[in-house]
Amino acid sequence: MTRLLIVDDEQIERDGLQAILRKGFPELDIAQAKNGKIAVEMAAELQPDLILMDIKMPGMNGLEAIEIIAEAQPGVKFVMVTAYDTFDYARSAIKLGVKDYLLKPSKASEIVATVGKVLSQIEEERRSAETSKRQEAALRKVLPVIEADIVTQLLFDHVHEVHLDELVGLLGERAGGEPFAMSVLLPAGAEGLYAAIREKARQAGGGWVGAMYGRHIPVIAFREPARSYRSQALALARDLLSVADAGMRGVASSGADLSDSGLTGALAAASLPGSGSSFVGIGGVCDSLDQIRQSYQEALIASSDPTLPVKYRFYADTPALGMAREGLSAKQWERQFFDRIRLGQWEQIEADVQELLRRSESEGADLLLGQQRALELLWLASRVLLEMGVETESPLFSVQAREYRQLRAETALLLARMRQAFETHQERVKPDAIQQIKQYVYEHSHEDISLEAIGKRVGLSPFYISKLFKEQLGVNYIDFLTECRIDKAKKLMGDPERSLKEITFEVGYHDPNYFSKVFKKMCDVSPTEYRKTLLGKRGS
């Protein structure tokens, strides 16, 4: 209900205004105050939406009362009621935000018209506020999806700058400073802790959390100017580890059905390398988000040995595998190894790993050290495969090798299993998978659909879908989605009954200005110019 306060030192004036307004607006909740001082006190208690304020009153005048009330309640609207139609009063009232004024005496029709105009404004503001509230609530619900989609696109596919700006803008002021990536490895059976990890990262101001794949959770954080990179990253890593460890202890002591939760397998596997505890790998700082993929690869390498006593490691502190060759540094070779796995170059991959073992043997390295080096490479290969949607068993040697020849044979066997999993996955994916995905995206392009949502529908990982778009269509997912939306917009522009604002929302955009920017970038003309040409041609 809208509340209105009438302030006037004359009882007859107050009663007259109330009678007129009660007849014109029977739904109003009306109260009276006989002077400025009482008006200030009543306004604090009643929280009125509109005040009709007499200006000339004994004691505190109307302008003084307006100033006090407006400072305490900025949303209150005022209509000045005065017998003095002077410039000075009007100028002072305008400065205080008075919406209109009534001269004494006024006709009933004038009073109703003036008050009605302000009441309409109040109602419109309420509707706008309610719409904004609903939009904010809806945005809060989809923010985790948007956040995960941004991380997925950044780490596993190139994103067109204009689209990245739109998505990042939806996250508010959460991006700032130089970015760096982290990889959180959860224990087997602890996948249900994803939501708690994401919430902890949000509370800690840790940046963006991506979609979970396997037991890995990718995180993109941003440098804080007041802290060093290492101290900030360590604090965030410890926060995330505390959530994971507390979650595992809670589940273990809850007495839940372990066979259903998967915890039985987690506890049984606790003695295996890398499966019984959480670990955080931390990549290096980048100049911009364009380089964040490299930082994430570094984070994966840093987490390649989760058996370390301290459950986090910086890439800068990771010992190189001793594979520098052909003009490449050890770190460059590691990145090249990632790319070969993604391209499925298995002969070269096996040659690289076997070369590592031969070099270790020729250097006289202890057999355990050679086995550890090989296991790190195999583990990294399994992580990259998982990104692509290829699930493989954790690479573990079934026996303790007694010599390098046996170690090379065991390593070749594990690589063969990985290759088989890769090729089986390639065969399992139907040749027309990308066509099915294209059709689904086109039919639902007006919705806020993410790679993760599409992946759940077609049974493929979002990372693999991103790869399919790039390899088979030559464009990334975001660009294809934009093409679908712009294509639909062009068709809708042929209907002169639809406004450009309606078309904006109908094809899936939330801001007409942004839609116009994207349309012009795609079509080299603005939506208005395109429509004018289109309708002009039809008219002729």
pLDDT digits over 390-423, tens only?
777 767 776 667 889 999 998 999 999 999 988 8
Contact predicate 208/147, CB 8 Å: yes
Strands 216-222, 179-185: pairing kind: antiparallel
193-202, 238-247, 292-301, 522-531, range with greatest mean pLDDT: 522-531
Q: Say which residue, 345 or 470, is predicted with more confidence.
A: 345
Examine the pLDDT at 211 and tell me if it is beyond 70.
Answer: yes
Kindly state the average pLDDT of the residues 304-309: 75
Confidence of residue 41 (pLDDT cuts 50, 70, 90): very high
Q: Which two tokens stand for residue 195?
A: 């939501």
Eight-class DSSP state of 395? -
Q: Say which residue, 268 or 528, is predicted with more confidence.
A: 528
pLDDT digits over 425-435, tens only?
777 766 677 78
Q: Say which residue, 515 or 203, is predicted with more confidence.
A: 515
Cα–Cα distance for residue pair 207/205, rounded to 1 Å? 6
Mean pLDDT of the chain: 80
Q: Which two tokens stand for residue 324?
A: 């520098």
Q: How much is the pLDDT for 6?
A: 95
Q: Say which residue, 90 or 507, is predicted with more confidence.
A: 507
158-162, 186-190, 251-255, range with greatest mean pLDDT: 186-190
Q: Say which residue, 270 or 218, is predicted with more confidence.
A: 218
pLDDT digits over 122-177, tens only?
999 999 888 888 877 776 676 777 777 778 777 765 444 445 666 666 665 555 67
Cα–Cα distance for residue pair 486/502, rounded to 1 Å? 14
Q: Which two tokens stand for residue 211?
A: 């979609």
Q: How much is the pLDDT for 145?
A: 75
Q: Provide the residue count of the chain.
A: 540
Examine the pLDDT at 266 and tell me if it is beyond 60.
Answer: no
Contact predicate 46/3, CB 8 Å: yes
5-14, 186-195, 350-359, range with greatest mean pLDDT: 5-14
Confidence of residue 273 (pLDDT cuts 50, 70, 90): very low
Q: Please, which residues have CB within 8 angstroms of residue 500's CB and are 6 or more apart in sequence?
A: 493, 512, 515, 516, 527, 528, 531
Kindly state the average pLDDT of the residues 282-292: 87
Q: How much is the pLDDT for 271?
A: 30
pTM of the full predicted structure?
Answer: 0.50
